[in-house]
Amino acid sequence: MDVTCVDKRITEILRQLEETNGTYALAAERRKDLRWKLDEISCPGQEITISGSDCDDLCEYFALQAQQDIAVRRALYCQGLRDCVGLLKHIGVL
């Protein structure tokens, strides 16, 4: 299996996850809303200042990222398991 095939497979799994997992989809939308805060705070060449509100937004952003990462790992693991079982059935081991 080449890298392009793996990339396509992962992209498809992520698309399905966004369509079928409401928590994942909501976290993705909220992260998009918060993303501009990161861009403002980390503007190159400028002094970085973070207000209490910015800090709360950043904490929420990273908490949502962690939540999404857990869902992605679970989805990839489950798909890998299904693929493995399918392959073992296909070659007659199961």
When the pLDDT of each residue in the chain is averaged and rounded to a whole number, the result is 90
Q: How far apart are CA 52 and CA 28, in angstroms?
A: 23
Indicate the Cα dihedral angle 59, 17, 19, 86, nearest 10°.
Answer: 180
Per cent of the chain over pLDDT 90 is: 70
Whole-prediction pTM: 0.78
45-77 pLDDT, tens digit each: 777 778 888 899 999 999 999 999 999 999 999
Question: Per-residue confidence at 38, pLDDT binned at 50, 70, 90?
Answer: confident
Domain boundaries, given as residue ranges, for the chain: 3-90
1 pLDDT band, cuts 50/70/90, is low
